[in-house]
Amino acid sequence: MPYNKYGEKMRHRFDPSEDICYSSIPRPELVFYNPDTKFSQLRMKIMSKPNPIPDDASLVVFIDGACRNNGRPTARASYGVYFGPDSPFNTWGLLDESQPQTSTRAEIEALIQALLSICVIMHFDRTLCRIRIATDSSFLVKALSQWMEGWMERGGVGSNGSQVAHFKIMKQLYDELNSWEDKDEWGVREIQLWHVPREMNREADALANKALDEA
Protein backbone atom coordinates (compact mmCIF):
# COMPACT_ATOMS: atom_id res chain seq x y z
CA MET A 1 0.00 0.00 0.00
CA PRO A 2 1.44 3.42 -0.93
CA TYR A 3 2.42 5.96 1.73
CA ASN A 4 2.27 9.74 1.69
CA LYS A 5 5.14 12.07 2.60
CA TYR A 6 4.19 11.78 6.28
CA GLY A 7 4.54 8.00 6.26
CA GLU A 8 0.78 7.48 6.42
CA LYS A 9 -0.92 4.77 4.37
CA MET A 10 -2.96 6.01 1.42
CA ARG A 11 -5.88 3.66 1.91
CA HIS A 12 -7.53 3.92 -1.48
CA ARG A 13 -4.51 4.20 -3.77
CA PHE A 14 -2.94 1.32 -5.67
CA ASP A 15 0.68 1.53 -6.82
CA PRO A 16 1.95 -1.78 -8.25
CA SER A 17 5.55 -0.60 -7.98
CA GLU A 18 5.18 -0.63 -4.19
CA ASP A 19 3.65 -4.09 -3.93
CA ILE A 20 5.99 -7.08 -4.05
CA CYS A 21 3.31 -9.22 -5.70
CA TYR A 22 3.12 -6.93 -8.75
CA SER A 23 6.26 -4.79 -8.88
CA SER A 24 8.39 -7.21 -10.91
CA ILE A 25 5.79 -7.70 -13.65
CA PRO A 26 6.11 -5.44 -16.73
CA ARG A 27 3.17 -3.05 -16.95
CA PRO A 28 1.96 -4.35 -20.34
CA GLU A 29 1.69 -7.83 -18.81
CA LEU A 30 0.20 -6.87 -15.46
CA VAL A 31 -3.44 -6.72 -16.58
CA PHE A 32 -5.16 -9.39 -18.65
CA TYR A 33 -8.73 -10.00 -19.77
CA ASN A 34 -10.32 -13.16 -18.42
CA PRO A 35 -12.90 -14.46 -20.92
CA ASP A 36 -14.43 -16.69 -18.25
CA THR A 37 -15.20 -13.90 -15.79
CA LYS A 38 -15.82 -11.29 -18.55
CA PHE A 39 -13.62 -8.71 -16.81
CA SER A 40 -9.95 -7.83 -16.48
CA GLN A 41 -7.73 -9.06 -13.67
CA LEU A 42 -4.16 -8.73 -12.43
CA ARG A 43 -1.26 -11.09 -12.70
CA MET A 44 0.82 -11.59 -9.56
CA LYS A 45 4.17 -13.10 -8.61
CA ILE A 46 4.47 -15.53 -5.75
CA MET A 47 7.61 -17.18 -4.38
CA SER A 48 6.51 -20.75 -5.14
CA LYS A 49 5.97 -20.12 -8.87
CA PRO A 50 8.64 -19.20 -11.44
CA ASN A 51 6.25 -17.16 -13.58
CA PRO A 52 3.40 -14.73 -12.79
CA ILE A 53 0.01 -16.30 -12.18
CA PRO A 54 -3.51 -14.88 -12.37
CA ASP A 55 -4.66 -13.08 -9.26
CA ASP A 56 -8.07 -14.76 -9.10
CA ALA A 57 -9.28 -12.46 -6.32
CA SER A 58 -8.67 -9.29 -8.35
CA LEU A 59 -10.86 -7.18 -10.61
CA VAL A 60 -9.59 -4.32 -12.76
CA VAL A 61 -11.79 -1.73 -14.45
CA PHE A 62 -10.70 1.31 -16.44
CA ILE A 63 -12.70 4.54 -16.27
CA ASP A 64 -12.61 7.86 -18.07
CA GLY A 65 -14.66 10.99 -18.51
CA ALA A 66 -14.89 13.30 -21.50
CA CYS A 67 -16.25 16.80 -21.98
CA ARG A 68 -16.54 18.59 -25.28
CA ASN A 69 -16.57 22.39 -25.20
CA ASN A 70 -15.44 22.21 -21.57
CA GLY A 71 -15.97 25.52 -19.80
CA ARG A 72 -18.51 26.78 -22.34
CA PRO A 73 -22.32 26.97 -22.18
CA THR A 74 -22.49 24.26 -24.87
CA ALA A 75 -20.37 21.79 -22.87
CA ARG A 76 -21.50 18.15 -22.88
CA ALA A 77 -19.92 15.53 -20.66
CA SER A 78 -19.84 11.74 -20.78
CA TYR A 79 -18.29 8.69 -19.12
CA GLY A 80 -16.78 5.38 -20.19
CA VAL A 81 -16.26 2.24 -18.09
CA TYR A 82 -14.14 -0.54 -19.59
CA PHE A 83 -13.82 -4.03 -18.13
CA GLY A 84 -12.27 -5.61 -21.22
CA PRO A 85 -12.82 -6.32 -24.93
CA ASP A 86 -16.49 -7.10 -25.59
CA SER A 87 -17.20 -7.38 -21.87
CA PRO A 88 -20.95 -7.23 -21.18
CA PHE A 89 -20.12 -5.00 -18.22
CA ASN A 90 -18.68 -2.20 -20.37
CA THR A 91 -20.82 0.90 -20.19
CA TRP A 92 -20.88 4.46 -21.47
CA GLY A 93 -23.28 7.37 -21.48
CA LEU A 94 -23.93 11.07 -21.12
CA LEU A 95 -24.16 12.91 -17.84
CA ASP A 96 -27.67 14.03 -17.00
CA GLU A 97 -28.23 17.59 -18.12
CA SER A 98 -28.95 18.58 -14.50
CA GLN A 99 -25.35 17.73 -13.57
CA PRO A 100 -22.36 20.05 -14.11
CA GLN A 101 -21.04 19.46 -17.62
CA THR A 102 -17.34 19.47 -16.78
CA SER A 103 -14.45 17.07 -17.31
CA THR A 104 -14.00 16.60 -13.56
CA ARG A 105 -17.65 15.75 -13.00
CA ALA A 106 -17.41 13.34 -15.94
CA GLU A 107 -14.53 11.49 -14.23
CA ILE A 108 -16.56 11.29 -11.04
CA GLU A 109 -19.56 9.90 -12.93
CA ALA A 110 -17.36 7.25 -14.51
CA LEU A 111 -16.36 6.10 -11.03
CA ILE A 112 -19.99 6.04 -9.90
CA GLN A 113 -21.00 3.92 -12.89
CA ALA A 114 -18.04 1.58 -12.37
CA LEU A 115 -19.07 0.96 -8.76
CA LEU A 116 -22.61 0.12 -9.88
CA SER A 117 -21.27 -2.48 -12.32
CA ILE A 118 -18.87 -3.88 -9.73
CA CYS A 119 -21.82 -4.38 -7.38
CA VAL A 120 -23.50 -6.54 -10.02
CA ILE A 121 -20.35 -8.60 -10.60
CA MET A 122 -19.78 -9.13 -6.89
CA HIS A 123 -23.34 -10.29 -6.41
CA PHE A 124 -22.34 -13.40 -8.37
CA ASP A 125 -18.69 -13.66 -7.30
CA ARG A 126 -17.97 -12.86 -3.68
CA THR A 127 -14.42 -14.19 -3.81
CA LEU A 128 -13.19 -10.89 -5.29
CA CYS A 129 -11.30 -8.93 -2.66
CA ARG A 130 -8.84 -6.75 -4.58
CA ILE A 131 -10.70 -4.16 -6.65
CA ARG A 132 -8.55 -1.80 -8.76
CA ILE A 133 -10.15 1.12 -10.55
CA ALA A 134 -7.74 2.53 -13.13
CA THR A 135 -7.99 6.16 -14.20
CA ASP A 136 -5.72 8.73 -15.83
CA SER A 137 -7.21 11.43 -13.59
CA SER A 138 -4.53 12.32 -11.06
CA PHE A 139 -7.03 14.65 -9.37
CA LEU A 140 -9.57 11.89 -8.75
CA VAL A 141 -6.96 9.53 -7.31
CA LYS A 142 -5.41 12.13 -5.03
CA ALA A 143 -8.80 13.48 -3.94
CA LEU A 144 -9.98 10.09 -2.68
CA SER A 145 -6.67 8.77 -1.35
CA GLN A 146 -4.82 11.84 -0.02
CA TRP A 147 -6.85 15.01 0.22
CA MET A 148 -10.32 14.04 1.43
CA GLU A 149 -9.47 13.84 5.13
CA GLY A 150 -8.09 17.38 5.08
CA TRP A 151 -11.06 18.65 3.09
CA MET A 152 -13.44 17.11 5.59
CA GLU A 153 -11.61 18.69 8.53
CA ARG A 154 -11.98 22.09 6.85
CA GLY A 155 -15.62 21.60 5.94
CA GLY A 156 -15.02 21.10 2.23
CA VAL A 157 -12.44 23.84 1.87
CA GLY A 158 -9.17 23.09 0.07
CA SER A 159 -5.67 24.02 1.18
CA ASN A 160 -5.92 27.17 -0.96
CA GLY A 161 -8.88 28.41 1.09
CA SER A 162 -11.46 27.88 -1.66
CA GLN A 163 -14.46 25.57 -1.61
CA VAL A 164 -13.62 22.24 -3.27
CA ALA A 165 -15.62 21.68 -6.45
CA HIS A 166 -17.88 18.61 -6.30
CA PHE A 167 -16.98 18.09 -2.65
CA LYS A 168 -20.37 16.68 -1.64
CA ILE A 169 -20.45 13.92 -4.24
CA MET A 170 -16.78 13.04 -3.69
CA LYS A 171 -17.36 12.84 0.06
CA GLN A 172 -20.21 10.42 -0.61
CA LEU A 173 -17.92 8.32 -2.81
CA TYR A 174 -15.18 8.37 -0.18
CA ASP A 175 -17.61 7.16 2.47
CA GLU A 176 -18.85 4.45 0.11
CA LEU A 177 -15.34 3.20 -0.61
CA ASN A 178 -14.70 3.01 3.14
CA SER A 179 -17.96 1.15 3.73
CA TRP A 180 -17.16 -1.39 1.03
CA GLU A 181 -14.00 -2.37 2.86
CA ASP A 182 -16.09 -3.01 5.97
CA LYS A 183 -18.65 -5.27 4.24
CA ASP A 184 -17.31 -8.63 5.28
CA GLU A 185 -20.20 -10.48 3.63
CA TRP A 186 -18.79 -9.33 0.27
CA GLY A 187 -15.28 -10.33 1.18
CA VAL A 188 -13.95 -6.94 0.07
CA ARG A 189 -10.69 -6.00 1.73
CA GLU A 190 -9.31 -3.44 -0.73
CA ILE A 191 -10.90 -1.09 -3.22
CA GLN A 192 -8.27 1.21 -4.64
CA LEU A 193 -7.79 3.77 -7.38
CA TRP A 194 -4.88 3.26 -9.74
CA HIS A 195 -3.41 6.24 -11.58
CA VAL A 196 -2.40 5.04 -15.04
CA PRO A 197 -0.97 6.91 -18.06
CA ARG A 198 -3.42 7.89 -20.80
CA GLU A 199 -2.06 5.24 -23.17
CA MET A 200 -3.27 2.56 -20.75
CA ASN A 201 -6.72 4.10 -20.67
CA ARG A 202 -7.53 4.45 -24.36
CA GLU A 203 -10.43 2.00 -24.35
CA ALA A 204 -12.31 3.79 -21.56
CA ASP A 205 -11.64 7.11 -23.30
CA ALA A 206 -13.02 5.66 -26.54
CA LEU A 207 -16.23 4.61 -24.77
CA ALA A 208 -16.68 8.07 -23.26
CA ASN A 209 -16.25 9.63 -26.70
CA LYS A 210 -18.58 7.06 -28.22
CA ALA A 211 -21.32 8.35 -25.93
CA LEU A 212 -20.76 11.87 -27.26
CA ASP A 213 -20.61 10.70 -30.88
CA GLU A 214 -23.92 8.85 -30.49
CA ALA A 215 -25.71 11.77 -28.81
Please give the model's pTM, rounded to 2 decimal places: 0.93
φ, ψ of residue 29 in degrees (nearest 5): -105, -5
- Domain with 33, as residue range(s), is 13-214
Ranges of the chain whose pLDDT falls below 50: 1, 3-8
Q: What is the pLDDT of residue 23?
A: 95
Q: Is residue 4 one of the residues assigned to a domain?
A: no
- Based on C-alpha coordinates, what's the Rg of the chain? 17
Domains contained in the chain, number? 1
pLDDT of residue 215: 85
Whether the CB-CB separation of 14 and 55 falls below 8 Å is answered with: no
CA angle centred on 107, ends 166 and 146, rounded to 5°? 65
- Is the C-alpha dihedral spanning 202, 204, 206, 209 positive or negative? negative
Domain assignment present for 117:
yes
- According to the model, what pLDDT value does residue 126 have? 85
CATH of the domain at 144: 3.30.420.10
Nearest Cα to 149, choosing from 2, 4, 1, 16?
Answer: 4
pLDDT computed for residue 123 by the predictor: 87
The answer to whether position 39 is within a domain reads yes
In a domain, 7, yes or no: no
